[in-house]
Structure 1
Amino acid sequence: MTFFQIFLFAYVLSSSPIFTTSQPFDYPTATLSTSWINSVSANHSIDFTDGSTIRAILLRGTFGPRYACGFYCKGNYETYLFAIFIVQTNSGGGITSPSIGFPQLTYNGDLVLKDVDGTLAWSTNTARRSVAGLNLTEMGNLILFDENESVVWQSFDHHTDCLVPGQRLKSGQNLTASVSSSNWTQGGIYLSMTNQGLIASIRSNPPQVYFEYGITNVKLSYAMFINGSLDLYTNSTETSPLAKIDIPPASSAQYIKLDYDGHLKIFEWLTGWKEVADITTGYLGECNYPMVCGENGICSNGQCSCPTSSTDSANYFKLIDGRQPNLGCSQVIPLTCDASKFHKFLDLDEATYFTFTADISSTNINRCKEACLKNCSCKAAIFRYGSNSFDGDCYLPSQIFSLMNNEKDKSHYNSTISIKVQVPPSAIPPSVDLSPASATKGKKSPLGTILGSGIGILLATVAIGILVFIIWKKRKNLREEIEEDFLDQLPGMPTRFSFEDLKNATENFNKKLGEGGFGSVFQGTLKDGTEIAVKCLDEMGQVKKSFLAEVETIGSIHHVNLVRLIGFCADKSHRHLVYEYMKNGSLDKWIYGRTTATPLDWKCRKKIILDIARGLSYLPEECRQKIVHLDIKPQNILLDENFNAKLSDFGLSKLIDRNQSQVVTNMRGTPGYLAPEWLSSVITEKVDVYSFGIVILEILCGRRNFEKSEPEEERHLLSLFKTKAQNGQWLDLIDKHSEDMQSHGGEVVEMMQVAVWCLQGYYANRPSMSTVIKVLEGVKDVEKDLDYNFESPEIATNRIPEVDSRDATPLLPSTLSGPR
């Protein structure tokens, strides 16, 4: 099966192309209901000498390097990228005439990409936004435009690893490098545009920065690549940049690329693509990059090797690939927290690192190493100092990338790196035999023997009791340490904060945002200016399971519609979760009949529903393990400053293996949102679909699913909804506080039908969340002949005693402005 991976800016970087026959016309635009099919044998397939092939469907201009849009393949004709690329054209430049196939610009203005079997792979999500056509501009921007020729969607807003002249990198946007020159999957190195300027980092906890360029005391807005410079601006109305990075002026086509090794390079077409500049080149040279020699590798004069000990002959590291030393080194014996007593340091004198952030100041090397030994997440103690080795700074990174020799004439400091390693079993001394000697000297009287034996037995009994107690206590403490430390060992875990860190960030937990679930939430600000919401968990016996579930579940996953878990604190009795701060708080306060604030309009509510659907689709369908949230409700859906919706509160979530279609578990969640199958304790991810259906109705109707203030016959939303729907009185249910909602009655009713599909009593009749997304995007219709006898809230409410009180989340009035 042919599968299309989606990259909106993937440039063909190869040797000279060999052209096939093509039509001599410029075809940069397409109208609605236009479609194309990808075929290896089609015209306008261009073969390159490195074995790659492109097939253009849109081309802008002839004679020289020009932009084209279409399919890119290298090698096997099995995997393709849908991309915008630069090609060398001649007077015969052209594209294939439109024919039936994929991708297609649909009749309702959505650019969609489908697999060979018709499965939707990607979409611009622009249906019903008055799109009139598709255009590839001379600058290489793929645009969907409306009848007024205004931009509805543009590829310039969706970056991968490249920036072309005229394209902006706005604050909050990234360029992300690929894994390697042959693997275009997104890797760990990225270039961010921030309010302070450009920052290049590699992903770790926290990110490790290797390049910065900007200005202080000014809030920057975006960077733009123009001929001769990369300029930084404060806002969209600026006519001149506040800072710029000079680049060789272009004599032909140019683009900037963040390479897989961390270099930010400028390429220009000069009878083939040639590198003409490297923006990130620093005074420490070629070795001053995070992945030049991979993880744990040492770079010296451009050569890569593994760390070795100067004090013993043990090998602590080995090359991942002996033929490619630049891929890095792995530890022979991986570090484990439950064997921390066998940790030691491999000392590298006069070695340095590409980044340094002092965790401890005015200290010495011994204290630096002691601090690393006490912190399981620490992988090395990096110590820098001037002339006095007893007064230096200590950096304790949680992940080690490429190291390098310290050239003091360039760095102007002394540096030592001590890498934490696990002592091999052969180096561990054998256990000492503590059994007592059996030989005795002389003879004792029978009375003395009896007394001695009795006293010995008594003392032995006491000693054994004390020993058993000590062992039990140590094992208990060890279990708790392992339980917490194992979080540090999981890949991609968020930052671990100390209690003092969070106390300072929240000004001693002074600004309370709200309460809910198992504790209170406070607003705070980290040292780098990041606004956070800190959830403080109370009553340790009840929250331990929730805490570990939440950190393990979302600590290593990232999605635009999931609230980001920045870090956590497991410090003695303190358990805290640190999230990104969500300015507009939880959804419930915006939809439950508010009359004191402007109600959400239809467009905003529709987008919120789609955002929730995308988050719920990601959890079971795209993660390594299926994740079922189990507590979907408006209180657990948070809104950022632009009213983008994100799922939060994963304390009750459940991990399910991919080979499991269902799982048995205790009832958990919130009464009123529970699917009928909870009564059997056998569930699938469809329980979240049911809860999502309830949330849709609450959003559309502007009320809770259970309202005590309403007349008895209208208290339960599902019962009321069933009655109104069967009588064709759908419009009576629309939120009365919003005139805009009333004016879009037809569309709101269509959305109610989506909710009905999600609320089917038998779970197999409910759609998957990916199917729901297709319906919301207008590429699929709602199932017909739906059953309106879904279970009413009275049944779930009457069975509340069956809910495990440790897992249930009470439905409380929410005053929360951050994650709960």
Structure 2
Amino acid sequence: MIPSLQTMAPRNSILHPLLPLLLLSFSIICISVPISSASNLLTINQTLSGDQKLTSKGENFVLGFFTPTNTSNTSSKFYIGIWYFKVSKLKPVWVANRDTPVSDTNSSVLQISQDGNLVLLDQDKSLIWSTNATISYNSTVAAVLGDDGNLVLRDLYNSSKVFWQSIENPADTWLPGGKIAFNRTAGVSQKLISWKNSENPAPGIFSMEIDPVESQYLLKWNGTKTYWNTGSWNGHIFSGVPEMRDSYIYDFDFINNSQESYFNYSLKGGTTIISRFIMDVSGQIKMLNWVDYNKEWTQFWAQPKTQCQVIRLCGPFGTCNEEKGQYCSCLRGFSPKSPEDWALSDYSGGCSRDVQLQCGGNSSTNYVEPDKFLQISSVRLPEDIGQSLQVGSSAADCEQACLSDCSCTAYSYSNNCSLWYGELLDLQEQYSGPDRGGTLYLRLAASELPSNKGKKRTVLVFGVVVGVVAACLACVAVLIWILVWRRRRRQLSTASKLVEGTLVAFRYSDLQRVTKNFSDQLGVGGFGSVFKGVLPDSTVIAVKKLAGIGQGEKQFRTEVSTIGTVQHVNLVRLRGFCSENTQRLLVYDHMPNGSLDAHLFQNIPNHVLSWSTRYNIALGIARGLVYLHEKCRDCIIHCDIKPENILLDDSFAPKVSDFGLAKLVGRDFSRVLTTMRGTRGYLAPEWISGVPITPKADAYSYGMMLFEIISGRRNTEQLEEKEGPAVFFPKVAARKLIEGEVVSLLDPRLEGVGSEEEISRVCKVAFWCVQDDEFFRPTMGQVVQILEGVLEVNMPPIPRSLEILSENEGSIVFFSDSSSNHSSQMKSTASNSSQTKSTSSSVSIHQE
């Protein structure tokens, strides 16, 4: 090589004395060198091993070796992955060698091979993983980690020449800007595939992919059986995911052309939220947000909404129960096949029998008791019926048909006989759905169930004892019963029904007695009057006598039973009801601190609510409304949020009351609302315009109430006595918010003591909630996240309705925080709806 270089250069060339330096440089280039810890790229002459990492330029993401979060430090399983740099709890968003971990990171290397592919080699230099891209040999290849979490294999000098990228080869996480596409040319679908369990990133049994026929995404078990879909794309959202309409964080788009079809989502400009969209090991797709103040990932959204909708989740002979912390459990007589997998949330292996079936009942030498059946009530029956027969007119015939077939596992009988063979799948306990719910008879070995002989002997002995005792006590019991029956009958019957968590059907006369004939009135409203009462066990209750409720008794009881199942710490608990003749009454827990309006608008000595208490009250109310809107089986719109309907317990925790009345009387009751004192100022514009009401109507009422929580006054009230005409407080709040003087908005009784940041946050939330167009209002779920500090809220636009109330004083126009300083953010202009609308598009809510 040296002679050739000398031949190429002229004898007197200036390169001649530099030749040793050139040779040294060339020899260095041919040797692989470790990567710099601050680098975001890996070139052909570099390697990554041990604790070395690639870090994106903006320090958003990191690539390196990792071991799954819950695995101990002695683990010998390591993977190459990408995770968030700014998140303290490591959760990979992409994994290269999902199926094949390496055991030694110091001798394993990630590098670019001679053919230009990015490869992982283990300690024996065996190929573990490769990008398997087709690369021209004349390319200078580099792997670059971007701030969007995308690892790109491209030409070092031409960024548009991309050979492979991780965002198009996802694992279980779908990052903004990525796509899960269907390639029409190749007929291949990309898939988002769950981890096997919480500590093993190997592909699991649940996946998400696009439907090649419809414009929708499908969730599948084992790549074959679909158990949930997003619904078709309607041009704006997926029809089965209405929550997309309320997103203030993401922009959505759906691409469908001759080459491919896919959905794309991206963060709105200025949004700094850290989130993960994952195909979880639970079989649900989830959106998780990182909350930095408590260092935890919190679930923002999940589908399917209930865990037990995920098929095959608990495996053979496993049963799902929504009421348990660990959803999966084994049927009686069965135990987990792999307790280790179950501990890692992988239940797919299911359960195995503790005692094998005898099947046959008799042996040539010893008598063996035949198998028996365990009755399991209120269960979702398995989907795959082995056989459905009309074998006879009784359940006994069905039982015998199963018992005579050794492969029969279970049966059910309801007009006809259904038999199941082999493994039982998709069982769900405490099931109340209309589809295939019923009673299952599970086949077990006789030793798994109690013996009838022992039971008969126990019953006989017990009967003798009971008879003797009954004979001795009969006379005494009759005398006592005669003396006290008339006086205590009703009290004892009522008291015996007060079982925790159940609804009591009270008699009207009982409620008359415990309320002293409705003499102690606590309050009155558009739906009726409320009276204080005391039950025989000294429990204090509040009894509401409803006015204008016209349902029949059966309908009323059905409605109340539904409401009675709604339980939340920020909702008033319904204890029971009364439905006799034309009387309709509801019985609630009594709240010792009364309603919020008394503390805000009346000067109660020594009972001024501090700012921290008001902030917690605002947060609690929002949480209660989230439960009504999103967590109940049916969405319940309160329709009458105001301080009078917020009750305070002994620790001043808020309880939303009257939340069931919207369901009882229906949602078309604006006549009742408009005649109620103070309610007129809380009505959303859509009530007046007559358009259908959505949960955003509650958000509007909540926003108007927030202003009153801040000021301690009605929104329309004189600032000082005899000062002149009433002033609309939201208008004053708008000006003070822009001027940065929000503390001056506080209730004067607080003497300016309160967090300026919290007051500003609440004030901004209030203005967002009272937007004229419900589309621009946040959901109550987003309100909770804002008040909890998960999301940051920018400056809102002023609603048109407030501009009208400004009359001749001009209007205040709000700009986003990115616009300019506060001094230039307030303008006095003529009312201009187009200008207001243009500013509304520039504001956003984003995570801190």
TM-score norm. by structure 1 comes to 0.43
Q: Which has the higher helix share?
A: 2
Which structure exhibits the higher relative contact order, with contacts defined as CA atoms closer than 8 Å and separated by 6 or more residues? 1
TM-score norm. by structure 2 comes to 0.42
